[in-house]
């Protein structure tokens, strides 16, 4: 099942630089593992913003929730979610 | 170049049913041609809404503009657009 | 899979009364059949508004979409949707 | 009497982890006691968010107020409330 | 039980003047009957707007809903509702 | 002259508990004195929120301003104000 | 007593031109009479918009309400109102 | 040239009282000098809020900008600006 | 003096096609004359929208107002305006 | 390719003055280099605000992203971006 997730990151002023780098590093590794697993199908940067548009391919909302709550940057994210389904005009039977 | 486009359709009350069907039919054909051309990379239905999330792969903003203005349903759409670029955490060199 | 759906109905001014009644009658029958099928688990009126809060229990987003698009009042509704999952503090293993 | 309550939790940056855990632990115990008492009828997680949708079944607005103000996480919550009543299309005489 | 209700009236352009007057006349009679019954405790005009702030004193949300849905001007109103309870700083034990 | 005032209180995280209590205590005494003086005609709690709906009966906007600016909790309040006048459907000649 | 009133005019599409002109003509005469009476102290056009910022000097909210409701363009206006009082930094004892 | 400027002041929690007083004192002196110079034509308090509505009479946008950026309270202000011009219904040829 | 103006066009459903074309044609001629006069310095299409971002170089707010009110498409436009001035980081002494 | 970028700066309360000055100094140098390179075509101050409207002329969204993320003030900016293209009414074949 597909979900579009938009994440915007807001790092609090005064957070130590090495702490930020350590979290970002864990975030990247975590994201890439999920991409390799086929759960995080797409991730695009929104131009000019510390934000992304992502497509997740998960079993259900529960799995999506567990994945997002484990994001190292989650406490600093504003997140918007929409469930997707196949569009009747799509030329693909299963566009993921 | 990639753009995320979200389209929400609002058909005016009182529009004749056959006129609606004719426009929708042209919209579908137009969308599918652009998908076959590789310009309209993804189109997903937002669950429960007469709306979609799409990814366009165009030469530039001008081409995106010409494509969208020619949508048969354009006069009845609310449209939101964001330019995308590669995300540094993506495992793909060119995720389209 | 559970979704919370909030529906607000806006009948256009000038719509003939018998047409409204006919649509509402079909809406009620349709809703009650889905309730009997276990798909539309809860429906509550929001006090003072021509609006409801509903809980749907469907296979996936696709089924939710098909159910909502077939609502006789759909063209006159403003709809907001959120995917739900089990809350870790719930005393029920499967609260539907 | 039924109320739909939506709670979104925002933990301030810099709050000590053990203080957070202690509050969450009290929140869970408090919520579960109210669920066993039949006051907090439903609680669902909104997928991907540190937020829930809940249905309360209370004597009146006063009781709802006392319950919510005593939530251990209340100072960190954004709360939205709507009073509910039976929907005329419900197949249940008293859906709680 | 008390509810604050704010009603803003929007008469559609083109509605016949005598039809408007007839509805307003019924609205006034209906409101005044409810005031005499003690259900509609207060009604104030918001200065400069075709809008009011009202306090209703009803048995429960169901009664509030029935009262509001029967307002002759209801189809032309934008309505916002909040449940009230006694304020701990009030010098009245039961301010209605 | 009547004004509806809605006050929502936001206590900053980290404010010492005894400081909060001292301010709340002064707020309550101040509010009750104004109620006894007939200036603060009504105060209701909005159910579930740290917020109130109040009706002030003052000589003019200047007096309202002086009263509100002297609220001990004023620095922590979000305030919305609307001037009221008699509603033509009111059965009272002077509902305060 | 002073009120700032902001009025934005929205003429419905399809309203006959002579009807519009007749209403605007009455609006202008009405506004100028109130200006000569000292009730409508200031009226400025917001540059580029069919909108104005006005300062009214009235006995109370009731008088403001009667003045605004009698505006010939009132049915086509979006109106925002704020009560004003003397600013402690003003060099005028009574700036109207 | 006239501009309407609305300023809302938000003092950060924890700012030392003497620092606040010193800034307010400078703000008042600065505002009064500009009023005497005829640049700051009107300043009114918005009743109940730590906010004002002001009318500036400046040579151009550049002068307005320099004046506002030099406000001692500027770092704590939320500011909204609209350019004004003569209203065709004004009875004054030059209402400042 | 410079102003940034953003215009979004909304053509009412049902407006005759030849009437639309005639207005658009007059709009284009009017815009181009103002561009040649140096009043309308820049006009860019916002990609994908029936909207533009423009920079006007006018004597004052009054001239801007007269120019905008005379736009043939004005009745169908949503307009947002901001006054501009030289940026201290600009490498141009007068960037128009 | 052109983008309109609007940047609003919010300096956190308590940030040391010399740190602010150092960042602003770097911001200015960085902006001026990009202007000399022809990438940052226009920068205007929004009158009265610590904000600017800018036009960027870049190869693609990726280049825009890299430029904006390197702004020394980026962590304190609220940024809004829109892709632009040639307007059919422009008298210039390539207005940059």
CB contact under 8 A, H83 and I2: no
- A63 with A2: CB under 8 angstroms? no
Chains touching chain B through at least 3 C-beta pairs below 8 angstroms are A, C, I, J
- Are residues D61 and F49, on separate chains, in Cβ contact within 8 Å? no
Residues of E with Cβ-Cβ distance to C11 under 8 angstroms: 75
**Distance in angstroms (rounded) separating the CA atoms of residues A88 and B5:** 17
* pLDDT one-digit tens code per residue, F67-87: 999 999 999 999 999 999 999
Q: How far apart are CA E36 and CA F92, in angstroms?
A: 10
CA atoms of A69 and A51, how far apart (whole Å): 17
Nearest to J32 among I27, I44, I89 (CB): I89
How far, in Å, CA of J46 to CA of I87, rounded?
8
List, for residues H14-40, the tens digit of each pLDDT value: 999 999 999 999 999 999 999 999 999
Count the alpha carbons within 13 Å of H77 in the hemisphere toward its beta carbon: 23
Distances from the Cα of A56 to the Cα of A4, C4, C58, E54, angstroms = 6, 20, 19, 47
Q: Computed over its alpha carbons, how large is the radius of gyration of chain A?
A: 15
Contacts of I73 (CB under 8 A, 6+ apart): I7, I9, I23, I24, I27
* Phi and psi angles of residue J50, each rounded to the nearest 5 degrees, phi first: -85, 70
Looking at CA atoms only, how far is residue A14 from chain B in angstroms? 24
**Mean of pLDDT values over G12-28:** 96
- pLDDT score at F47: 98
Question: Which residue from A minimizes the CA distance to J4?
Answer: A48
Cβ contacts of E17 within 8 Å, gap of 6 or more = none
Q: Is C41 left (phi over 0), alpha (psi -120 to 50) or beta?
A: alpha
Distances (CA, A) of J89 to A56, D92, I54: 42, 62, 11
Report the 10 Å Cβ neighbour count for B37. 10
What is the distance between the alpha carbons of residues D46 and D28, in angstroms, rounded to a whole number? 17
What pLDDT score does A26 carry?
98
Q: Which chains form contacts with chain H, at 3 or more CB pairs under 8 Å? A: F, G, I, J
Kindly write down the DSSP assignment for every residue of I34-94, as one continuous string. Answer: HHHTTSEEEEEEETTSSEEEEEEE-SSHHHHHHHHHT-TTGGGEEEEEEEEEE-TT-SSSS
Confidence class of residue G46 from pLDDT cuts 50, 70 and 90?
A: very high
Instruction: Give the sign of the dihedral formed by CA G71, CA G73, CA G76, CA G82.
Output: negative
Closest by CA to A2, choosing from A66, A85, A91, is: A85
Tell me the C-alpha distance between C37 and E87, whole Å.
45
Start-to-end CA span in chain C (Å): 9
Query: Contact E72/E27 with Cβ under 8 angstroms?
Result: yes
H and I touch with 3+ CB pairs <8 Å, answer yes
| Average pLDDT of the segment spanning E28-39 | 98
H9: alpha, beta or left? (left if phi > 0; alpha if psi -120 to 50)? beta
Gap between the Cα atoms of J91 and I43, Å rounded: 9
pLDDT digits (tens, 9 = 90+) for A48-87: 999 999 999 999 999 999 999 999 999 999 999 999 999 9
What is the pLDDT at residue I86?
96
* Among E9, E15, E44, E47, the residue to mutate for chain G (most G Cβ within 10 A): E47
* Nearest-CB residue to C81 (from B13, B47, B50): B47
What distance in Å separates residue G59's CA from the closest CA in chain F? 9
Give the whole-angstrom CA distance, residue F80 versus residue E49.
Answer: 16
What is the rounded average pLDDT for all residues in chain F?
97
Query: Is J in contact with B (3 or more beta carbon pairs below 8 Å)?
Result: yes
Q: What is the pLDDT of residues I51-79, one digit of tens each?
A: 999 999 999 999 999 999 999 999 999 99
CB contact under 8 A, J3 and A45: no
Report yes or no: F5 at the H interface, CB cutoff 8 Å. yes
Q: Which of D43, C81, C58 is nearest to A60 (CA)?
A: C58
Residues of chain J found within 8 Å of residue H76, distances taken between Cβ atoms: 13
The chains found to touch J (3+ Cβ pairs under 8 angstroms) are A, B, H, I
Q: Is J96 on the interface with I (CB under 8 A)?
A: no
Whether E91 has its CB under 8 Å from any CB of chain F: the answer is: yes
DSSP state of B73: T
Min distance B56 CA to chain I CA atoms (Å): 12
d(CA B87, CA B72): 33
Q: Rounded to 10 degrees, what is the CA torsion of B4, B66, I75, I37?
A: 120
Minimal-distance CA residue of chain H relative to F66? H48
Sort out which chain I residues have CB atoms less than 8 A from J87's CB and list them. Answer: 43-45, 52
Write out chain B residues lying below 8 Å of I48, CB-based.
3, 5, 61, 64-65, 68-69, 79, 81
What is the least distance, in Å, from the CA of I47 to any CA of chain G?
A: 24
G3 burial type by CB count under 10 A (0-12 exposed, 13-18 middle, 19+ buried): buried
Burial C20-55 (b: 16+ CB within 10 A, else e): eeebbeebbebbeebbeeeebbbbbbbbbbbbbbbb
Q: Does G62 touch chain F (CB under 8 A)?
A: yes
Contact H47 F15 (CB under 8 A): no
Q: What is the pLDDT of residue C75?
A: 96
The radius of gyration computed from the CA coordinates of chain I, to the nearest angstrom, equals 15
pLDDT digits (tens, 9 = 90+) for C37-70: 999 999 999 999 999 999 999 999 999 999 999 9
Contact E61 C47 (CB under 8 A): yes
Report whether E30 contacts E77 (CB < 8 A).
no
* DSSP state, residue C12: P
> Which pairing describes strands I51-57 and J2-9: parallel, antiparallel, or unpaired?
unpaired
Contact B95 A43 (CB under 8 A): yes
The sign one gets for the Cα dihedral F65, F70, F75, F80 is negative
Tell me what percent of chain C is helix, strand and coil, each rounded to the nearest 5.
35, 35, 35
At residue C24, the pLDDT reads 97
Give the closest residue to H84 by CA, choosing from J79, G51, C70, C57.
Answer: G51
Output the 3-class SS for chain A.
CEEEEEEEECCCCCCCHHHHHHHHHHHHHHHHHHHHCCCEEEEEEECCCCEEEEEEECCCHHHHHHHHHCCCCHHHEEEEEEEEEECCCCCCCCCC
pTM reported for the whole predicted model: 0.96
pLDDT digits 0-9 by tens, B70-79: 999 999 999 9
- How far off is chain G from F63, nearest CA to CA, in Å? 9
In 3D, which of A50, A39, A63, A54 has the Cα closest to residue A8? A50
Which of C14, C47, C50 lies nearest to residue E81, judging by beta carbons? C47
Give the bridge partners for F81, in sequence order: F5
Nearest to H44 among G32, G43, G87 (CB): G87
| Helix segments in chain G, DSSP class H | 17-36, 61-69
Name the residue among D81, D66, D80 with its Cα closest to residue D34.
D66
Residue C5 vs residue D95, higher pLDDT: C5
Q: What local confidence, expressed as pLDDT, does residue D41 receive?
A: 97
Confidence of residue J48 (pLDDT cuts 50, 70, 90): very high
Closest residue in G to F85 (Cα) is G62
What is the per-residue pLDDT across F4-32, written as a single tens digit (0 to 9) for each?
A: 999 999 999 999 999 999 999 999 999 99
Grade residue I82 by pLDDT with cuts at 50, 70 and 90: very high
Contact at CB, E89 and F28, closer than 8 angstroms:
yes
The Cβ of residue A89 has, within 10 Å, a number of other Cβ atoms equal to 18
Do chains D and G meet with 3 or more Cβ pairs nearer than 8 Å?
Answer: no
DSSP assigned state of G74 = G
pLDDT per position as a tens digit, D42-75: 999 999 999 999 999 999 999 999 999 999 999 9
Most C CBs within 10 Å: which of B10, B45, B48, B52, as the mutation test of the C interface? B48
Outline where C15-95 has alpha helix (H).
Answer: 17-36, 61-69
CB contact under 8 A, H65 and J45: yes
Secondary structure (DSSP) of D25-56: HHHHHHHHHHHHTTSEEEEEEETTSSEEEEEE
CA nearest neighbour of B34 among B68, B1, B6, B2: B68
Query: Which site among F56, F59, F62 would you substitute to test the G interface, given the most G Cβ atoms closer than 10 Å to its Cβ?
Result: F62
Within 8 A by CB and 6+ apart from G94, the residues are G86
Where are the strands (E) in chain F, listed by range? 2-9, 40-46, 51-57, 77-86
Chain segment G72-95, per-residue pLDDT in tens: 999 999 999 999 999 999 999 989
Q: How confident is the model at residue I6 (pLDDT cuts 50, 70, 90)?
A: very high
Measured between beta carbons, the chain F residues lying within 8 angstroms of E48 are: 83
Q: Which residues of E touch G12 (CB under 8 A)?
A: 13-14
CB of E84 within 8 Å of any CB in chain D? yes
Query: Residue D63: enclosing H or E segment and its boundaries?
Result: helix D61-69
Question: Which residue among I11, I13, I48 sits closest to B68, beta carbon to beta carbon?
Answer: I48
């Amino acid at each position: 099942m597909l979900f579009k997730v938009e994440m915007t990151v807001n790092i609090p002023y005064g957070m130590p630089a090495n702490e930020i780098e350590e979290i970002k590093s864990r975030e990247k590794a975590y994201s890439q593992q999920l991409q390799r697993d086929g759960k995080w199908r797409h991730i695009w940067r929104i131009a000019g913003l510390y934000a992304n548009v992502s497509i997740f391919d998960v079993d259900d909302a529960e799995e999506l929730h567990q994945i997002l709550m484990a994001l190292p940057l989650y406490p600093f994210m504003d997140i918007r979610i929409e469930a997707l389904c196949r569009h009747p005009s799509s030329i693909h039977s299963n566009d993921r």
